[in-house]
Amino acid sequence: MAEPKDPSRLQLNDQGRLRHFLTLDGLDKATLTEILDTADSFIEVGARSIKKVPLLRGKTVVNLFFEASTRTRSTFELAAKRLSADVLNLNISTSATSKGESLSDTLQNLEAMASDMFVVRHSQSGAPHFIAESVTPNVSIINAGDGRHAHPTQAMLDMLTIRQHKGQFEGLKVAIVGDILHSRVARSQIRALNTLGVAEVRVIAPNTLLPVDIESLGANVFSTMQEGLDSVDVIIMLRLQKERMEGALLPSEHEFYELYGLTTEKLKYAKPDAIVMHPGPINRGVEIESAVADGPQSVILNQVTNGIAVRMAVMSMAMSGQTAAISAATSE
């Protein structure tokens, strides 16, 4: 399945409001800032005794996960429930698609159940874009990660975490470390960071774990932690995605940790107040030392908390934009 060429055509309605959330490509700084501001307004919902707002009351959200995930699916489910939506979790491994039914037939049956939103996670790049082109106009599609292409809600919860701890994006130097080649998260992070106006995005990895087009995405490449972490404000560690690797891209996990794992000593290369992030799940002793992951500069658990608020923001904004698009179409 080919990667989408013009996702902005589908993502925004005629008024420029979000109706699908497929990728950060084509979205401007104002839209990303609106997502962050909306997410900020939802943070306090999690601290209430009754953790609900009525914005999606009467709406049905389907978690359509063709690829296994615990953290992402659970945070999307919590986000939808806190917005008062009804939630259907579809286990694709035991669903009709594994019995020979086509994806289109499955989608049509879900649409016939009056579903309002599909949260899609798929191993093939461009799958959410394909679904957005295929569904009826009254259904919103949210990308929960597709192949090596994009993971936009993860990138936005990372941006929210950075803004909370650093106040602004201007002037920041951010380093992304590890398996860049297989990471849809890294691609979305690079896009978001550049759109929001950071001073520099760096990637630190062995050559075997770098995509050939990485510099064209807006990142400067470093091959050593000492050079790459020098004077950075934010360090984002990535998981080694061994399930996506073909061939011997790494000599060993031990050697990777020695050269690119974030330890207490390597952390000293960065600014004293640098924050440490990781989208999870963490492989301790492979990508990051436990003393760093659990240390005072780590904001990893903040990222998890922010994931719910960001997904609430995206879902509420997309549903609002979808409703506006339908209203405009029916009034013509």
**Position 43 pLDDT exceeds 80:** yes
Residues 132-155 have a mean pLDDT of: 92
For residues 11 and 325, the answer to whether their CB atoms sit within 8 Å is: no
CA distances from 317 to 71, 154, 331 (A): 22, 16, 21
| Nearest-10 crossing angle of helices 71-82, 300-331 | 50
Structure tokens at 10: 């589908």
Rounded-to-integer distance, Cα 131 and Cα 161, Å: 30
281 marked as binding residue: yes
CA 118 to chain centre: 16
**Model confidence, pTM:** 0.91
Residues 62-73 have a mean pLDDT of: 88
DSSP letter (8 states) at residue 85: -
- For residue 331, the model assigns a pLDDT of 55
pLDDT (tens digit per residue) in 253-294 = 888 899 999 999 999 999 999 999 999 889 999 999 999 999
- For residue 101, the model assigns a pLDDT of 60
Which of 320, 332, 327, 254 is closest to 20 using CA atoms?
320
**Position 224 pLDDT exceeds 80:** yes
Cis omega (within 30 of 0) for bond into 281: yes
Q: Up-side HSE of residue 139: CA atoms within 13 Å toward CB?
A: 26
Structure tokens at 148: 């090596």
48 marked as binding residue: no
Counting residues of the chain whose pLDDT is more than 70, the rounded percentage is 88
83: left (phi over 0), alpha (psi -120 to 50) or beta: alpha
Residue 314 amino acid letter: V
pLDDT (tens digit per residue) in 239-254 = 887 554 444 456 678 8
Domains by residue range for the chain, with CATH: 8-149+305-331 (3.40.50.1370), 152-301 (3.40.50.1370)
- For residue 244, the model assigns a pLDDT of 45
What is the average pLDDT score of the chain?
89
**Residue showing tokens 């013009």:** 6
Buried b (16+ CB within 10 A) or exposed e, 193-206: bbbbebebbbbbbb
- For residue 260, the model assigns a pLDDT of 95
The helix (run of H) or strand (run of E) holding residue 208 is: none
pLDDT (tens digit per residue) in 148-162 = 899 999 999 999 999
161 marked as binding residue: no
Rounded-to-integer distance, Cα 134 and Cα 137, Å: 9
154 marked as binding residue: yes
19 marked as binding residue: no
- Grade residue 114 by pLDDT with cuts at 50, 70 and 90: confident
| Nearest-10 crossing angle of helices 152-166, 29-43 | 70
Buried b (16+ CB within 10 A) or exposed e, 266-277: bbebbbeebbbb
Residues 190-213 have a mean pLDDT of: 95
191 marked as binding residue: no
pLDDT (tens digit per residue) in 163-187 = 999 999 999 999 999 999 989 999 9
- For residue 8, the model assigns a pLDDT of 61
CA 183 to chain centre: 11
**Position 3 pLDDT exceeds 70:** no
167 marked as binding residue: no
Which of 57, 51, 119 is closest to 86 using CA atoms?
57
Which of 128, 140, 117 is closest to 20 using CA atoms?
140
- For residue 120, the model assigns a pLDDT of 94
For the chain, give the number of residues: 332
- For residue 254, the model assigns a pLDDT of 86
- For residue 245, the model assigns a pLDDT of 45
Q: Up-side HSE of residue 159: CA atoms within 13 Å toward CB?
A: 35
pLDDT (tens digit per residue) in 17-36 = 999 999 999 999 999 999 99
Which of 307, 44, 24 is closest to 157 using CA atoms?
307
70 marked as binding residue: no
151 marked as binding residue: yes
**Position 328 pLDDT exceeds 90:** no
Residues 190-219 have a mean pLDDT of: 95
280 marked as binding residue: yes
